[in-house]
């Protein structure tokens, strides 16, 4: 079993770190709100540290799962950052959904310190993290991935090396593009069914057995019809992800008209006070709630 550090104990990181502890690894955690790190250490018989550097000291693998590019730089770089505590040959696995640019930036600094860096954003939401069933998209050197892959399997349903550093983040952008269009389509379908006087629940049961089937339909249509949005992946975080990928699209020339439009629809949801609602709340916008 390995000596690990896990930095960032949000709704995703807390259970992910727990799966590592349950797998028998020695895990030291760090969280900006120290009380949550203390709670995690008590629950999983692990340890906690006052800084990312202390958590990473002597660790073979350092997992990071924080909010955005700036948060990532804040816990990895500097005198108290994870890099400062890591020994040559250690691997930093970044599960943050961030930009490909920051992944390349940190990988370059890791190389200078004789460390390995993998950008490895995840998909599957809070439920996937809790159930150890996340999809993990990885960018980096094959040798580093070969070392880390047995460890990340503790919370993965699917993990794949997609290419060089940055490829994991780019693949996560592909994922978010798909989700944005699918959720808007599902919202419009439910809204249309209701306006047409159909049994919307029955309509979903029928079309879920055909070509319209999707994870979003299967897992979200009931809560959408019930007007329940206080769960799942928050609109604020989705807009952060869409901002990153739309900037990447402007750089690489990709045309994303539907995604850009749905991003503005999510801005409308934020204006309705739904920044912390689940992304399926696009239906609420159509219903004028």
Q: The CATH number of the domain where 181 resides is what?
A: 1.10.1040.10
Q: The CATH number of the domain where 46 resides is what?
A: 3.40.50.720
Per the structure, the complete domain to which residue 89 belongs is given by 3-164
- The residue with tokens 């490895």 is 120
Interval 38-62: pLDDT, tens: 999 999 999 999 999 999 999 999 9
Provide Rg for the chain, Cα atoms: 20
Are residues 204 and 250 part of one domain? yes
Which of the 8 DSSP states describes residue 278?
A: B
Q: Where is the domain boundary, 164, 193, 209?
A: 164
Are residues 261 and 121 part of one domain? no
pLDDT band (50, 70, 90) for residue 232: confident
Are residues 184 and 158 part of one domain? no
The number of distinct structural domains making up the chain is: 2
* 172 included as an active-site residue: yes
Interval 198-214: pLDDT, tens: 999 999 999 999 999 99
Q: Say which residues have a Cβ less than 8 Å from residue 213's Cβ, sequence separation at least 6.
A: 207
Interval 135-159: pLDDT, tens: 999 999 999 999 999 999 999 999 9
Are residues 151 and 22 part of one domain? yes
**Alpha carbon distance 284, 117 (integer Å):** 41
Q: Is the pLDDT of residue 289 over 90?
A: no
pLDDT band (50, 70, 90) for residue 231: confident
**Alpha carbon distance 237, 66 (integer Å):** 11
Q: Where is the domain boundary, 148, 164, 180?
A: 164
Are residues 129 and 36 part of one domain? yes
Are residues 141 and 176 part of one domain? no
pLDDT band (50, 70, 90) for residue 274: very high
| The one catalytic residue among 3, 147, 172, 240 | 172
- Considering the chain, what is the average pLDDT of its residues? 97
Are residues 204 and 130 part of one domain? no
């Amino acid at each position: 079993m390995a000596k690990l550090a896990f930095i960032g104990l949000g709704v995703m990181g807390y259970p992910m770190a727990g799966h590592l502890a349950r797998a028998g690894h020695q895990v030291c955690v760090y969280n900006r709100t120290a009380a949550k790190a203390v709670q995690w250490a008590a629950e999983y018989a692990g340890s906690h540290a006052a800084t990312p550097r202390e958590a990473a000291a002597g660790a073979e693998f350092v997992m990071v799962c924080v909010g955005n590019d700036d948060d990532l730089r804040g816990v990895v770089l500097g005198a108290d950052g994870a890099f400062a505590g890591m020994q040559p040959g250690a691997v930093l696995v970044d599960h943050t959904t961030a930009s490909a640019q920051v992944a390349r930036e940190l990988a370059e600094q890791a190389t200078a310190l004789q460390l390995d860096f993998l950008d490895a954003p995840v998909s599957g939401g809070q439920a996937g993290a809790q159930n150890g069933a996340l999809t993990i998209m990885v960018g980096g050197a094959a040798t580093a991935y070969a070392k880390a892959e047995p460890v990340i399997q503790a919370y993965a349903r699917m993990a794949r090396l997609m290419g060089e550093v940055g490829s994991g983040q780019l693949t996560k952008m592909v994922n978010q593009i798909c989700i944005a269009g699918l959720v808007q389509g599902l919202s419009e379908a439910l809204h249309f069914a209701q306006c047409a006087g159909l049994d919307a629940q029955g309509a979903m049961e029928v079309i879920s057995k055909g070509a319209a089937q999707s994870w979003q339909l299967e897992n979200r249509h009931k809560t959408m019809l019930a007007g329940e949005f206080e769960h799942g992946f928050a609109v604020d975080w989705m807009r952060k992800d869409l901002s990153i990928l739309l900037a990447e699209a402007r750089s690489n020339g990709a045309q994303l008209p539907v995604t850009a439009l749905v991003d503005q629809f999510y801005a409308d949801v934020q204006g309705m006070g739904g920044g912390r609602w689940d992304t399926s709340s696009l239906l609420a916008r159509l219903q004028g709630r």
